[in-house]
Structure 1
Amino acid sequence: MTISFEHSATVTALVDRTRAYVRDVALPVEQEYRGNAHALPEDVRARLQVEAKAAGIFAPHVSAEFGGLGLDMRDRAPVFEAAGYSLFGPLGLNCAAPDEGNMHLLEQVASPGQKERFLLPLASGVTRSCFAMTEPAPGAGSDPTALATRAERTAGGWVINGRKWFITGAHGAGFAIVMARTSGDPGSRGGATMFLVDTGAAGFTRIRDIDTLDESMVGGHSELVFDNLEVDDDAVLGEVDKGFEYAQVRLGPARMTHCMRWLGTARRAADFAAERAATRKAFGGRLGDLGMVQQLIADNEIDIETSRAITLKACWDLDTGAPSAQITSIAKTYVAEAVNRVVDRSFQICGALGVSGDAPLSRLYREVRPFRIYDGPSETHRWAIARRVIRAAGQAGAR
């Protein structure tokens, strides 16, 4: 099957409109609030989304049935990258984490009633959501099988007890997708179930917002406690004990959309540094005439183009239903590290200006560094990649 790197005229036009929106709407708001989404008023978030709707670029990842543009993974890539040029671009298009991944999961797994109640308001921007899986040690983190939050059956449904932390977007979210153990013990590879829970329910408590390096995620990263949280049977997302399987439905595509958005950030950093190198006079000429600066700029372009290519390959596999666990791990690991390298090099090219608030680079640096940890640390992905290779080699040897 031939892989094409070309996009249709419709997608190309959508990318152009997204770039114009980012330039005229998202970047000025980002500058005003210095990229701090924690300080972003709700009416400003709503205005960003109203402008995106007016531009015809809102919810590019959601199917037309639920008010979106229905793009597949390959066509999302250039649009999400264009949106990611501003830290607030994805928020305006309603394709920011964690909502974007939750929309994908709900479209794939939720019942018609759940889609009506949870997906429709989420896809339209009326509400926000969070995905509550990560727990304090020794609970679920890089190893999701360590899941300790437990849901027990009752006569009327389920009661959930446990603690979660680093739950992105929880502050102000309307509902949470909560991962809880319904069978087995921590360490068991099965036995997890997803529940759709209103954040205002009795027993659902946000006890603090964790102080983190990054600030561009609306709702921040929170610690939650579930204390005898009661939910009905219709709160179960999908089937009981299949939560880990459903997590894979969400995680592969979500890792790639993270790559797309952060590629936009890398492109912005590289553009800023290249312009600086082209105009700054030093040592009798332009900064960009120095060989060491040229190498930094060239390496930026190599990392961006390579990241874009591997992201598209992973998207192709996801769209065509090919096995994708290995390629999405490889892509996530490579792109997370490449984006960090690009922003770091751009920072270096700009010298003291890069350190200052007069340039966006210090802000971008804070935001991209956690990507090497979120959605699986690079080390965890490398372990999984190597394990698959060794397993395949062992099977080939046995044959």
Structure 2
Amino acid sequence: MYTWQLEHWPNYIFDQQTGVYWTEKARLASQRILGALEVVPAELGSEAKLDLMVSGAIETSAIEGEVLNREDVRSSIKNHFLSPGDKLAIHDPVAAGISALILEVMDLYEEPLTEERLHHWSELVIPQTGCWRTHKDAMQSVSGPIHNPTIHFEAPPSDRVPAEMESFLQWFNGSSCELPGIARAAIAHLWFETIHPYEDGNGRVGRAIADLAVSQTLGQPMMMSLATVLSRQRKAYYQHLNKASKDSLDVTPWVDWFGARVLDALEGAIGVIQHVVKKARFWDSIEARALNERQTKLIRKMLGEETASFREGINAAKYKNLARCSKATATRDLQDLVAKGILTPVHSKGRYARYRLVLE
């Protein structure tokens, strides 16, 4: 049976010690983040926050199979802090919408969660929505062939959604505040996903609710990207959600798994801050070394928003396409960067030679 079909739904139960454990861990990690931000220049702290917000916007969409343009997401978030005359061009309205959602969760994390606010979030994620689902067909999560589908989950009928969401919002803004904060966030996300109140976009709105709850627990806008961690463990994420939505209202295993992912995200934020500082020091260290325009472009790419595409390093063929130069020029440029201590070989044999940045 699905949990919403059980007699005592939605009275979730969990081991209190588990909730307290992860809440204390999260608060300690949050304090380490604040400590790290205090010892770096303000502009580097802002860059780290921007990197985390961009990652969060992209990855919460990636979980649903939607690929966003990173530059549009970055520009959308940066526009929030720019004056009207300095706004950057945005080509993807979907990127703008999810970015606006991420920013609103951070800016207004202390505000109550309301039906109107959720509808606004839904509209940001999926334009021309913004109301509870009303169709009579079952809301199901299905995979496999049409002739033999596998039903992973079925949500409550649409005619139950308004009352279910009213109960959820009363709990979230009321009695839930007495729970250990990470357990509250875990249950809020699970409960919302179990109701699945919208035709589409439930995952992104549900993760925004989790972000909101964690921020309220920490008493500050969430300096982490939970969606990035969940995206990397997408299969396990769905498995734990599905398991927690069936047969029992004891959600201790879900709270335990979710709490560990929050801690992963917070520790990841510390890593982002450290990486931003490394990048700044790296630029300072190479300022005096004469680089041509092609080499500078490469380094910006390797340090910037496309870092993931250089995870295995750069080779002459890739550099040639990036810099729009000949193979000989590419090889010469790369060897020059090695000689200047900016790149180091990852694999140095002939045409298979690859290089990475020397950030340490």
Does TM, scored on the shorter chain, surpass 0.5? Answer: no
RCO comparison, higher one (Cα < 8 Å, 6+) = 2
**Which bracket does the TM-score occupy, shorter chain normalised?**
under 0.3
Structure with higher helix content: 2
Structure with higher strand content: 1
State the TM-score, normalized to the length of structure 2: 0.27
State the TM-score, normalized to the length of structure 1: 0.25
Q: Higher Cα Rg: structure 1 or 2?
A: 2
